[in-house]
Structure 1
Amino acid sequence: MSDLSTPPHEILESSAFKKLVKQRWSVSLVLTFAMLLVYFGFLLVVAFNKELLAKKIGAYATLAIPVGLGIILFAWVLTGIYVFWANSKYDSSVEELKKKIS
């Protein structure tokens, strides 16, 4: 077993760890609320203005198809934002904290 340079409980109680946890929660909540806003907005349109989504945009398609695809694309974009943030900021901060432990 390796000798720990910093005890784990000190890491968990450190301001750097608490800041990292707060950042992760902040990013996660912002992205979650963005997705919920888009999804519930879509549900409200379906509930109160079905005619809008039923408008024809071609011979066979309605507006609901591109709107639904847009919601799926939006979810992918949010996932990409989270992955970019995690890879560029979060992972390096986690590695710094791991180095303090080992």
Structure 2
Amino acid sequence: MAPPADARDGDPATADAVTQRILHSPSFQELVRTRTRFAWTMSGIMLAIYLGFIFLVAFAQGVLAVKVGTTTSLGIVLGVVVILAAFALTGIYVQRANGRFDELTRRVRQEAGR
């Protein structure tokens, strides 16, 4: 994102006033709060999926050795599920970022006069 026009013009006092106005904006605070909560939630979900798989590897090798079909084991299938879950969660985050977070960012910019 480009710096505010006032900052590009070289007036640090005006740029600081714009920065302070943005930082105290309820829309900006909502954006930060919402994005942070969502990112931690998504990280927690991925961590739970990954740790669940690792715990299965560490403590339940027999379960992972169960054959699925004629040549594949459950461990391989679950490993692919972990990778696909990462892609899915990334897609969900991108969808939210391009929707709700961009909407909040536009509102913050409008309130700041940008």
Q: Same fold (TM over 0.5)?
A: yes
Structure 1 unaligned regions, length at least 5: none
Distance (whole Å) between structure 1 residues aligned to residue 26 and residue 110 of structure 2 = 16
Structure 2 counterpart of 1:27, which letter?
Answer: F
- Which SS does the other structure have where 1:7 is aligned? helix
Which residue of the other structure, out of 24, 48, 56, is the alignment partner of 1:37? 48
Q: Which runs of 5+ in 2 are unaligned?
A: 7-13
Q: Give the superposed CA RMSD.
A: 1.8
Q: Among residues 49, 58, 78, which one is paired with 1:47 in the alignment?
A: 58
1:60 aligns with 2:71: yes
Q: Distance in 1 between matches of 2:5 and 2:58?
A: 60
Partner Cα distance (1:79, 1:7) in 2: 33
Q: CA deviation at 1:10?
A: 1.2
TM-score (norm 1): 0.88
Q: Which runs of 4+ in 1 moved over 6 A?
A: none
Amino acid at match of 1:41: G
Percent identity between the two aligned chains: 35
Other structure's SS at 1:98 match: helix
Greater relative contact order (Cα < 8 A, sep 6+): 1
Instruction: Determine the structure 1 residue equivalent to 2:100.
Output: 89
